[in-house]
C-alpha cells in the first residue's frame, strides 16, 4: 500500500485555486491516469478531520495527506472500492504498531488440518496474505470461536480457494472494513491441501497464512 498525491472532488473554486499556473496565467491541469505525477500537481488533502475522532488521540497530530489518500499501485483510480475510508482508518488510532498473526501448515496431499490464533493488544486485522509450495494451492476457512458477547460465527460457509481468499506479499487482500479482533478469543482456521499424491514430493505442501494488522504500541505478548 502506498500513499501518493492525486485529485478528489472538492469544489471547483477550491480545486482551481490549488492548481499551478503557467507564466500566461493558464491552469496546468494534470493528466489523469498517468503513472508519474509531477511535483506541481501535489496538493494537501481537503478531507476534514471530522470522522470518528474530532481530534487526534494521545496529543499527536495526523500527518498531512493527499486528496485521494491511500491508493493501490495496480488500481489507482478504483482503490477506494478496496480500501477502508478515511474515517475508518482514523478510527484505528495513532498509537499502533504493525503485527502479523501467522498460521503455519505442513500438509501431505489432500490432508486437512486445524490451527488458530489468539490476538492481544486490541489487534485490528487489515489484510490477508499467504504462500504455498505447491501450485495447486489450498482451501481455507476461518471461524471466530466467540466474540465479546460469546457468539461464534464462520467467516465463510465453506472453505475457499487461496486465490479467492488471500492475497500475496505483492498484492495483499486488504479488508474493505478493518476487523477488530476480540482480545484472547481465538480465531480458528481450517486449511486443506489441494495437491495430489502424484505431484512433486508426493504432494507435500508447506503453507503459511498471515493476517496483517496493527495492535497497541508497546504490546509484547
* Nearest of 98, 92, 93 to residue 1 by alpha carbon: 98
For position 150, what pLDDT does the model report?
Answer: 77
Whether the per-residue pLDDT at 147 is higher than 70: the answer is yes
Q: Is 24 exposed, middle or buried (0-12, 13-18, 19+ CB in 10 A)?
A: exposed
Task: Please tell me the distance from the alpha carbon of residue 111 to that of residue 191, in angstroms, as a whole number.
Answer: 9
pTM of the shown model: 0.67
pLDDT in tens, 180-198: 998 988 999 999 999 998 8
| Structural domains of the chain in order of their starting residue, each with its CATH number | 1-94 (no CATH), 96-216 (2.60.120)
Tell the residue number behind the cell numbers 488533502, with chain if given: 45
Strand partners, 114: 190
For residues 25 and 61, the answer to whether their CB atoms sit within 8 Å is no
- Is 34 a residue whose pLDDT tops 70? no
Amino acid at each position: 500500500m502506498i500513499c501518493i498525491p492525486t485529485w478528489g472532488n472538492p469544489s471547483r473554486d477550491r480545486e482551481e485555486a490549488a492548481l499551478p499556473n503557467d507564466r500566461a496565467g493558464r491552469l496546468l491541469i494534470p493528466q489523469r491516469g498517468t503513472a508519474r505525477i509531477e511535483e506541481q500537481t501535489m496538493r494537501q488533502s481537503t478531507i476534514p478531520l471530522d470522522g470518528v475522532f474530532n481530534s487526534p488521540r494521545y496529543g499527536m497530530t495526523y500527518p498531512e495527506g493527499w486528496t485521494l489518500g491511500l491508493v493501490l499501485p495496480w488500481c489507482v483510480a478504483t482503490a477506494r472500492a478496496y480500501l477502508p475510508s478515511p474515517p475508518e482508518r482514523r478510527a484505528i488510532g495513532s498509537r499502533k504498531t504493525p503485527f502479523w498473526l501467522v498460521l503455519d501448515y505442513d500438509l501431505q496431499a489432500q490432508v486437512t488440518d486445524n490451527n488458530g490464533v489468539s490476538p492481544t493488544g486490541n489487534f485490528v486485522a487489515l489484510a490477508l496474505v499467504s504462500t504455498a509450495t505447491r501450485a495447486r494451492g489450498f482451501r481455507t476457512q476461518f471461524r471466530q470461536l466467540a466474540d465479546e458477547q460469546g457468539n461464534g460465527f464462520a467467516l465463510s460457509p465453506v472453505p475457499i480457494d487461496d486465490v479467492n481468499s488471500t492475497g500475496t506479499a505483492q498484492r495483499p487482500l486488504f479488508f474493505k472494513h478493518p476487523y477488530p479482533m476480540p482480545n484472547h478469543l481465538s480465531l480458528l482456521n481450517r486449511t486443506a491441501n489441494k495437491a495430489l499424491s502424484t505431484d512433486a514430493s508426493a504432494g507435500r505442501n508447506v503453507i503459511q497464512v498471515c493476517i496483517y494488522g496493527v495492535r497497541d504500541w508497546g504490546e509484547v505478548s
